[in-house]
Chain A
Amino acid sequence: DAGVIQSPRHEVTEMGQEVTLRCKPISGHDYLFWYRQTMMRGLELLIYFNNNVPIDDSGMPEDRFSAKMPNASFSTLKIQPSEPRDSAVYFCASSLFLTTDTQYFGPGTRLTVL
């Protein structure tokens, strides 16, 4: 398996624009996670899905953020409108089980909002 795939790897956009980040989890994994990493706050869990259903989105910072998982092999994280404080590295991860299995991380998307 190619591992968790994220695209784009880098995204530079202007404030107010819509940003869509994409993730393809490892085939067969039932859980998908979106994280954000910044120097100030470290790594934070934003939302996770089980079998394509959002289970906990309490980490999503505000209504400008939304995430979907239309099928088992694809998820998106959308920011609309984007703001400079959204600049961060966004990671997607997947796992087979929730509490007994390791998470496999993608390479991340570095987002810069000007």
Chain B
Amino acid sequence: KQEVTQIPAALSVPEGENLVLNCSFTDSAIYNLQWFRQDPGKGLTSLLLIQSSQREQTSGRLNASLDKSSGRSTLYIAASQPGDSATYLCAVRLRNNDMRFGAGTRLTVKP
């Protein structure tokens, strides 16, 4: 059964710092991996989608990498801002089209 783990569960950093969020999954047979942002009381907003054939995707200050063989993905946030404070979830799309989410990393960026 596919397990998705996110470490750390919570992270607090000062504004301006570069940071890395980690996601690991147990089964490499995936279609894609997606990073989402969730603000308190809100739905999920997709940040980056990496297909299984891709190694990384970039959008602005965000960069996500995917290493299928080792079952790992990282989300790199450059020059963090207080507005980046949210919970970040990764999710993998399995070959049976199911989607499994990690529990998320709660990020706080202090001014």
Contact = CB atoms under 8 A, between A and B. Distances in A.
Contact of A107 (B31, B43, B97): B43
Interface residues of B, number: 22
DSSP majority for the B interface? strand
A55 B89 CA distance: 25
Nearest to B46: A102
A106 B43 contact: yes
A48 B99 CA distance: 11
Nearest to A33: B99
Interface residues of A, number: 24
A105 B97 contact: no
A98 interface: yes
A74 interface: no
B31 A105 contact: no
Interface in B18-35: 31-32, 34
A113 B24 CA distance: 34
A99 B93 contact: yes
Interface in B41-92: 42-46, 49, 51, 89, 91
B51 A105 contact: no
A81 B46 CA distance: 33
Interface string A73-113: 00000000000000000010100001111111111100000
Contacts of B51: 100
Given A42-B103, A43-B89, A100-B32, A105 B98 contact: no
A107 B42 contact: yes
Contacts of B43: 4, 91, 93, 105-108
Nearest to A106: B43
Contacts of B42: 107-108
Contacts of B31: 99
Interface of A: 4, 33, 42-45, 48, 55-56, 58-59, 91, 93, 98-108
19 contacts: A33-B99, A42-B102, A42-B104, A45-B98, A56-B97, A56-B98, A59-B98, A91-B43, A93-B44, A99-B93, A102-B34, A102-B49, A103-B46, A105-B43, A106-B43, A107-B42, A107-B43, A108-B42, A108-B43
